[in-house]
Amino acid sequence: MSNPLDTVFSALADPTRRTILSMLLEDDMAVTDVAEPFDMSLAAISKHLTILTKAGLISQEKRGRVKWCKLEPDALREASVWMQSFGQFEAVNLDAFERFLETELQDEA
């Protein structure tokens, strides 16, 4: 996908990736800690993390031997502006978006 907005919405379309973003709301996490609650391989989680990284929603850095993930909330800014342009939505702020994600994830569980 060449359009950054398409890439962000595509990344957000997957429930596993939305769960990962919610987990990273609290603090940076090691990749192994991100993978822990999921019933899938570390390789599968790594693929999800790569998609989130390419979308700019998270960043990853190596600290010693451990790879860490960090939420990059500014990446949602363009998506928020795009949604606001429809006029149907009130201004989207990151706190409201966080509450929305938490609610959605609880409903899915």
Specify the pTM.
0.75
pLDDT 10s digits, 90-108: 555 777 777 877 887 777 6
Cα→Cα distances 53→31, 65, 108, Å: 13, 19, 24
With a cut of 80, say whether residue 54 has pLDDT above it.
Answer: yes
Q: In this predicted structure, what is the pLDDT of residue 11?
A: 94
For residue 33, the surrounding DSSP H or E stretch is: helix 31-35
Give tens-digit pLDDT for 2-15. Answer: 688 899 999 999 99
Q: What DSSP string runs through 49-101? A: HHHHHHTTSEEEEEETTEEEEEE-GGGGHHHHHHHHTTSSSPPP-HHHHHHHH
| pLDDT at 101 (0 to 100) | 79
CB 30 within 8 A of CB 42: no
Q: Which CATH class is domain 4-108?
A: mainly alpha
Per-residue pLDDT at 25 exceeds 60: yes
